[in-house]
Amino acid sequence: MIRSFFLITVLFFLCKNPLYAKSLKDSTNTIKKVINIGVPSAAIISLVGINEVWYKNYARSDFHFFDDLKEWNGMDKVGHACTSYHLNKVSHTLFEKNHIKNPLLKSSIYTFGYMLGVELLDGYSTKWGFSIYDVIGNGLGTFLYSIQESKLKSQPFKIKFSSTKTTYATCRPSLLGENRLQQIFKDYNGQTYWVTFNYNELSNKKIKIFDYVNFAFGYSVDGFTGGHNNPEIISCNCVISECNNLKRTSQFIFSLDLNTSKIKNNHPIIGKFLLPFDIIKIPFPAFILNNSKNFRLIYF
């Protein structure tokens, strides 16, 4: 997820920048050329940058495959789907607002192609490898956005992300993050990936409150200090006994979320403030199902 953040940021800026977000009569063709050239160029530059900044720090090898399906109980795969969904969404919005031909087809191809490029870089890294399951996650996220946009012209089902600070990072800070920013992307225990859906967009029976409220189902893990198993902690800035007696569990969460797209349509100023919540789920009360049933008044 973190390795694709650069391109999402670039496209998000282009999409929301007034120069690109609206069609200008005197420069429509120029803008189209800039976007048609700029988006694939940004993708290529991003991949080259990732290779130079990220992969050069690790040993290289011949191209090889890697079976990582069971690592972190699938959290990484859900992360790939989330990243692909939003990359497709942002690039499609950019293309559509500027009247680029076949915007959904192009955004889907660019999204899947870019994520495949990242995976190919993994394939030449000794530390990782080319993961078929990552590619499947990329395809599912790309497809979820494109099929809804193609058939429904809306997104009743959305993928979102949230993160909260955990104590597990102190057990293995090099793996789970040495500071809060790193932990957002590296500590799977604190991450939750959500599928939210809007009742009114899926039902003929409209209920007014559900114009603004979505149902949300989340997935997360707890007690993980390693991908497949928890290694023995010998020394750390933590209570070693607590780090060596963690119970690894997956957990499913039921909660609510705001339908920010509806709010933005009615209140554009508030909509700009809520813009990040297109990706980030808003905290709400939640029921957590793992080995027991828990309720939290506020779940991030």
Triad 185, 190, 191: Cα angle to 5°: 60
Measuring CA to CA, how many Å separate 85 from each of 91, 139, 195, 274?
10, 9, 11, 19
Element (H, E) at 74: none
Give phi and psi for 81, each to the nearest 5.
Answer: -65, -40
In terms of residues, how long is the chain?
300
Give phi and psi for 29, each to the nearest 5.
Answer: -65, -40
Q: Which two tokens stand for residue 286?
A: 């939640």
The pLDDT, as a whole number, for residue 43 is 79
Residue 56: count of CB within 10 angstroms of its CB? 9
DSSP 90-111: HHHHHHHHTT-SSHHHHHHHHH
Measuring CA to CA, how many Å separate 61 from each of 56, 82, 118, 239?
12, 29, 16, 38
Q: How far apart are CA 150 and CA 146, in angstroms?
A: 6
The pLDDT, as a whole number, for residue 28 is 67
The pLDDT, as a whole number, for residue 3 is 53
Q: Hey, is 231 helix, strand or coil?
A: coil
pLDDT along the chain (300 residues), means of 10: 52 49 56 78 80 81 92 94 93 89 94 93 92 96 97 94 93 91 91 95 86 95 94 83 90 94 72 82 93 85
The pLDDT, as a whole number, for residue 205 is 82
Crossing angle of the two packed helices 75-97 and 5-16, in degrees rounded to 10: 30
Q: Hey, is 255 helix, strand or coil?
A: strand
Q: How far apart are CA 189 and CA 78, in angstroms?
A: 14
Q: How far apart are CA 171 and CA 12, in angstroms?
A: 35
Do 267 and 259 touch, CB atoms closer than 8 A?
no
- pTM over 0.85, yes/no: yes
Q: How far apart are CA 265 and CA 237, in angstroms?
A: 48
The pLDDT, as a whole number, for residue 2 is 52
The pLDDT, as a whole number, for residue 20 is 42
Q: How far apart are CA 186 and CA 165, in angstroms?
A: 11
